[in-house]
A and B are shown apart, each in its own frame.
Chain A
Amino acid sequence: RKEVEQDPGPFNVPEGATVAFNCTYSNSASQSFFWYRQDCRKEPKLLMSVYSSGNEDGRFTAQLNRASQYISLLIRDSKLSDSATYLCVVTGDSSYKLIFGSGTRLLVRP
């Protein structure tokens, strides 16, 4: 089983749509969880940390289900500028190293 698993996409949605990304992770002892976005040939940029209780930042909502080892990201009212690859990232159980999923590509069309 992959350490972090994501649907590769691409998700092709119109502007204004709501889109959801899901991710599962294999290590039940993982401590921290993040969503990063990556534009083509650029560095990963931190989008948001994912808190146990779930958290929202503007149009973005992240949820964590530790029992199911499942993380989600919801983007509301999508913009053209949201087009990117969204990376689900977890840490190890007693480590700061980041373990990346392969990413889900999002294309937002006019």
Chain B
Amino acid sequence: EPEVTQTPSHQVTQMGQEVILRCVPISNHLYFYWYRQILGQKVEFLVSFYNNEISEKSEIFDDQFSVERPDGSNFTLKIRSTKLEDSAMYFCASSDPGASYNEQFFGPGTRLTVL
């Protein structure tokens, strides 16, 4: 069964450093998303991406964040200058807008630890 993959599984970085989190969505999906989950809290939407542009973003997704689809398979989330409060699990998801409910399928996540 096709699945979303993410790398790395765990990233440790110093405050102020840039990080890039990588995702390979399911191959025939056209919508891509990033969510995050701070430890002990609920999953929160960051951004959705369709047709090579951002379709929606949350208040969390400020100028420090950017997304890119650099090639036909990868989807990346960049955090330019990490803060302590960016420490969280980051989940990538993808969906097929042709499916009746546009169900989203999640990758295993990248645990980001900012020191």
Contact = CB atoms under 8 A, between A and B. Distances in A.
A43 B108 contact: yes
Select the residue from B41, B55, B104 with max chain A CB neighbours within 10 A: B104
Interface string B35-60: 10000011111001000000110100
Nearest to B97: A96
A45 B106 contact: yes
B102 A32 contact: yes
Give the size category of B's interface with A.
Answer: 20 to 34
B65 to A, nearest CB: 15
A87 interface: yes
Given A32-B101, A41-B89, A99 B45 contact: yes
A87 B41 CA distance: 12
Given A97-B33, A97-B58, A44 B43 contact: yes
A109 to B, nearest CB: 23
Contacts, number: 56
B68 interface: no
Given A42-B108, A43-B106, A46-B105, A98 B91 contact: no
Interface in B24-42: 31, 33, 35, 41-42
Nearest to A99: B45
Interface of A: 32, 34, 38, 41-46, 49, 87, 95-103
Contact of A46 (B31, B56, B104, B109): B104
Contacts of A45: 106
Given A96-B56, A100-B44, 19 more contacts: A32-B101, A41-B89, A41-B111, A42-B108, A43-B108, A43-B109, A44-B43, A44-B106, A49-B100, A96-B31, A96-B48, A96-B55, A97-B48, A97-B56, A98-B35, A98-B93, A100-B43, A102-B41, A103-B42
Contacts of A34: 101, 103
A85 to B, nearest CB: 10
